[in-house]
Amino acid sequence: MKPLERLWNEDYGVKRPLETDSWARRLLNTHIVARLMNRFPRAATKFLSLSRGELARRLFAQREGGSYRVLRAMYRFEEPHGRGDPINRLIMQSPAVKAARNRRKIAQWMLETCLDAMPLGPPRLVMTIGAGDGRLEAEVIAQARQKNIYYCGVDMDQQAAHENREVLEMHGLRDRGFTHTGSVARTCDVEEVLDRAGRRFGVEFDGLSVTVCQGLIEYLDMHTKSNATLVEMLRAIHARTREDGSLLISQTGFHDRVAYLENGLAWYMRLRESNEVAQVLEDANWQLSICEQEPMRQITMCLATKSGVKNWRLHDESPLRRPHITRGVSAAGKG
């Protein structure tokens, strides 16, 4: 077992199997596949568009980029009937797609851990930014021991709102969840979410309990070295979070196909290294508990708390001097 796999599986207790690459596959992806795609982006796009698989079609024919529909297609690799033809399966096993599946598993573990750690008491609200169809959170909330946990998905995609309702109904959460088609960039926006949730459910929320932000902040503060927009949003969430509340956030820090994405697909991302994400969270007044890369070393997974014991790993209540931060090399991450 590789060190990062051991960290998540044994030290943290993530029970769902995480993915990594063998030494040979890593060399093949980095030095052959990535270089060919970066050097010949149009030819690569044309070849990959030949696939009839859902992931290939959405990425290379429809150019959807990082939509929740693309992510949902990535997750279907775990379903043998959803893997598609050979080209689609090849894409499904690329580093970035494996990292996205790892992110989902770790994010669900983090959310489950936060919900289990909450003492019985007043109604709790989980808010997801860039929620998509809400499947990640709905699967966890539906299994939570407390039944006074409510959900709000924030997403400007109208189709996401429709599919979110279907997912909530499928998991028995129709009366405990809804989609907010707006923004949470400022404190007044977060207050609007809390007000809407209170009126919809007939419950008074004294703040957010958990906020989940996966696959979104790569599209904030693009083409600049500043983190001003991201810090302002995280401060706004912090201001309206309960004292025992938490923040789950991820950020892509390295991607060996960035040149291909930017030249072949015109799909841009703001890459941030782990240490930069940690600094952003501290600038926004959050206290880090976990700041680690997933096993593919492409996405940084963070868990932060509003207050309480500083640097506390929720799963075993062991205090940390400082969260371990892996410093990668990514020119794009510097802005």
pLDDT digits (tens, 9 = 90+) for 298-309: 999 999 998 765
Report the b/e string of 139-153 with b at 16+ CB within 10 A: bbbbebeeeebbbbb
DSSP for residue 323: -
Q: Are residues 165 and 293 in the same domain?
A: yes
Across 220-242, average pLDDT: 95
Is 299 within the bounds of a domain?
Answer: yes
Q: Is the confidence at residue 320, as pLDDT, over 70? A: no
Cβ distance 323 to 278 under 8 Å? Answer: yes
Q: Is the confidence at residue 1, as pLDDT, over 80? A: no
Across 98-105, average pLDDT: 95
DSSP for residue 251: E
Is 105 within the bounds of a domain?
Answer: no
User: CATH number of the domain that 187 lies in?
Assistant: 3.40.50.150
At 318 the pLDDT is 57
* Alpha carbon distance 314, 247 (integer Å): 12
Is 298 within the bounds of a domain?
Answer: yes
Q: Is the confidence at residue 152, as pLDDT, over 90? A: yes
Across 97-113, average pLDDT: 95
Q: Is the confidence at residue 315, as pLDDT, over 60? A: no
Contacts of 232 (CB under 8 A, 6+ apart): 185, 186
Which helix (H) or strand (E) segment holds residue 188: the answer is: helix 187-201
At 308 the pLDDT is 62
Q: Is the confidence at residue 216, as pLDDT, over 60? A: yes
Q: Are residues 206 and 150 in the same domain?
A: yes
**How many Cβ atoms from other residues are within 10 Å of residue 23's Cβ?**
8
Q: Is the confidence at residue 50, as pLDDT, over 90? A: yes
Q: Are residues 236 and 310 in the same domain?
A: yes
Across 233-242, average pLDDT: 97
Is 115 within the bounds of a domain?
Answer: no
At 319 the pLDDT is 57
Q: What is the mean pLDDT of the chain?
A: 88
Q: Are residues 275 and 183 in the same domain?
A: yes
pLDDT tier, 314 (very low <50, low <70, confident <90, very high otherwise): low
At 311 the pLDDT is 56
Across 133-144, average pLDDT: 95
Across 204-224, average pLDDT: 93
Is 116 within the bounds of a domain?
Answer: no
Q: Are residues 27 and 140 in the same domain?
A: no
Q: Are residues 304 and 229 in the same domain?
A: yes
Q: Is the confidence at residue 333, as pLDDT, over 90? A: no
Across 118-130, average pLDDT: 92
35-46: per-residue pLDDT in tens? 999 999 999 999
Q: Are residues 127 and 92 in the same domain?
A: no
Q: Are residues 66 and 156 in the same domain?
A: no
Cβ distance 74 to 58 under 8 Å? Answer: no
Cβ distance 101 to 74 under 8 Å? Answer: yes
Please return the burial class of 319, using the count of CB atoms within 10 Å of its CB with bins 0-12, 13-18 and 19+.
exposed
Is 254 within the bounds of a domain?
Answer: yes
Contacts of 291 (CB under 8 A, 6+ apart): 274, 277, 278, 281, 300, 301, 302, 323, 324, 325
182-194: per-residue pLDDT in tens? 889 999 999 999 9
Domain final position from 63, 82, 97:
97
* Alpha carbon distance 64, 113 (integer Å): 32
What residue type is assigned to position 72 of the chain? R
Q: Are residues 155 and 292 in the same domain?
A: yes
At 297 the pLDDT is 92
Across 5-20, average pLDDT: 91
Q: Are residues 176 and 250 in the same domain?
A: yes
Across 263-280, average pLDDT: 88
One-character DSSP codes across 126-149: EEEET-TT-HHHHHHHTT-S-S-E
Is 329 within the bounds of a domain?
Answer: no
Domain region containing 33? 3-97
At 310 the pLDDT is 56
Q: Are residues 91 and 126 in the same domain?
A: no
Whole-model pTM? 0.91
Is 335 within the bounds of a domain?
Answer: no
Domain final position from 36, 62, 97:
97
Q: Are residues 155 and 256 in the same domain?
A: yes
Please give the tally of structural domains in the chain.
Answer: 2
* Alpha carbon distance 252, 331 (integer Å): 13
Across 152-175, average pLDDT: 90
70-75: list long-range contacts, CB under 8 Å, 24+ apart: 71/100, 71/104, 71/132, 71/215, 72/132, 72/133, 72/135, 74/100, 74/101, 75/100, 75/101, 75/104
**How many Cβ atoms from other residues are within 10 Å of residue 43's Cβ?**
12
Query: Hey, which of 16-30, 70-84, 196-210 has the most confident mean pLDDT?
Result: 196-210
